[in-house]
Amino acid sequence: MALLEVQNLNVGIRYKHKCYSILNGINFTINAGEIVGLTGESGCGKSLSALSVTRLLPPVAEITDGCILYRTASGESVNLCSLDEESLCRIRGKEIAMIFQEPRQSLNPLMPIGAQIAETLELHGTDKPAAHGAALELLRRLKFPEPEKILHAWPHQLSGGMCQRVMIAIAAICRPRLLIADEPLTALDTVNQNHILSLLKQINRELGTAILFISHDIPVARQFCSRFLMMHDGKIIENGGLMEAIPTGKNRKLINIPQTDVPSLITIRNLSNAYISRNFGLFGKKKIKPALHNVNLEIAAGEIFGLTGESGCGKTTLARCILGLINYEGEILVGGQQRKNSAQIQMVFQDPGASLNPVKKIGWLLEEPLLIHRLGTAAQRSRKVDEMLERVGLDSSYRTRRVHELSGGQKQRACIARALMPDSKILIADEAISSLDISVGVQILNLFRELRENLGLTIIFITHNMSAVEYLCDRIAVMERGVITGVNCR
């Protein structure tokens, strides 16, 4: 018998006393020690399928038909759909673990990393000292840099790549029989992606853990998995066509490329930034570590400027300095003057789900920047919300929706619309397509080009995706360990 067998799974969403079918007749099996890929474009139902296996569906969703058969460590076959919550808790984490798509939202910001890794062991009966010892040993085994320091660190002190590694450690601490990895490579550069893949391979090889690898990156899934399933519109299809990759820079049409005589809109001179690294303990010493060192850049008006480099090299720190969110040494001039108007520079953050308040409706979220800067009357603000939604490819009906009702691409479009509300002239896009599949990512890239053409925006595009940079940007700066190593013209 297979380790996991999903038979005719149907999942529906309840809305206004009706149930709308989302997953239709899902059938697949996973054998012990096997790596199975599940691919498809954004919104096709990949994550919902994974949440169905762990019975962690949102309140509005329910399994309407089918069964999920799982063979436990004792050899007993159980239907996960019929288990009560107490029985499920004995399986979750210990036998079936999951790496969620957005690590920063999954980690508790009020708990140190070590406590979060050890928590799973403690919930399944291990005493606290032994659990913390096992957490430290696991970090060493998985080759974390400075494991003792990471054990006492907080989530906000770690990079996105390191948070994802922590999520893998949390999932692997109980040596599960099945690991569900939901987009574990999201927002990581190639170096970190390879490290995460080798980490998952190590867990599969040494622990015999079967892996359900969910990704929209078909080439990676083909290389990593022994077999993979293609999903489309809530169904698993046997032969799905490959999604179009991001066009290469050779085939793109450049629009209004800034010439050498165009004056610089942003001038950065001798910019440096450092942070305090704390050695934990009563007599621990503080160390000052450089994040940026002597950065010099000039960005022209109307230019799409690419900033690339591996995770943790200082790209986002540079963006925060430009925005004035953190202190720095050096000089940043906007239009030849010190930055005064905070509304003229806006940022599209890396994680659209975490950037939008889930309690508020989209219309309110878009109107909020105008309320903060006291711009326009209520009628003018309302008209501008409709205008910006239309400009980013969303109709006015989206203003009454909440964040959980939007797909990843729609959330990112809403974030872009919000950034444009105060008539900003400079847009900083920090890994704006990293959490999106290829087809939706191309749509967002084309949207940036249209906004530059129609509004004359200057865009700083931060990413580790070289294909996206070559397709979109006029110039590319490469960053390594807080230093600009080169600027190339397209």
Provide the residue ranges of all domains of the chain, joining segments of one domain with +.
4-237, 249-489
Phi-psi region of 312 (alpha: psi -120 to 50; beta: other; left: phi over 0): left
432 pLDDT more than 80: yes
Give residue for tokens 């619309």. Answer: 417
Report the distance separating Cα 488 and Cα 481, nearest Å: 18
Question: What kind of architecture, by CATH, is found in domain 249-489?
Answer: 3-Layer(aba) Sandwich (3.40)
**Residue of 365, 325, 375, 367 lying closest to 345 (CA atoms):** 325
- Separation between Cα atoms, residue 289 and residue 291, nearest integer Å: 7
411-440 burial: b if 16+ Cβ within 10 Å, else e? bbbbbbbbbbbbebbbbbbbbbbbbbbbeb
Per-residue pLDDT of 343-354, as tens digits, reads 789 999 877 878
Which of the four pLDDT bands, split at 50, 70 and 90, describes residue 260?
Answer: very low
In this predicted structure, what is the pLDDT of residue 258? 41
Residue 63 confidence (pLDDT): 92
Q: What's the pLDDT band for 102 if we cut at 50, 70, 90? A: confident
Q: What is residue 341's predicted lDDT score, i.e. its pLDDT?
A: 61
Handedness of CA 354, 35, 7, 120 (dihedral sign): negative
Would you place residue 389 in the very low, low, confident or very high pLDDT band (cuts 50, 70, 90)?
Answer: very high
User: For residue 428, is pLDDT > 70?
Assistant: yes
In the numeric block, which tokens belong to residue 391? 């400009």
Q: Which fold has domain 4-237?
A: Rossmann fold (3.40.50)
Please check whether residue 5 is in contact with residue 69, taking contact to mean a CB–CB distance below 8 angstroms.
Answer: yes
- Across the chain, mean pLDDT equals 84
pLDDT digits (tens, 9 = 90+) for 319-338: 989 988 888 999 999 888 87
8 Å CB contact between 381 and 405: no
Cα within 13 Å of Cα(80), Cβ side:
27
With CA atoms as reference, report the closest residue to 270 among 288, 303, 293, 244: 293
The letter for the amino acid at 381 is R
> How far is CA 87 from each of CA 68, 77, 176, 348, rounded to the nearest angstrom?
15, 13, 16, 42
Residue pair 203/172 in contact (Cβ under 8 Å)? The answer is yes
| Residue 74: how many other CB atoms lie within 10 Å | 6
Are 330 and 270 in contact, with CB atoms under 8 Å apart? Answer: yes
Do 4-237 and 249-489 share a fold? yes
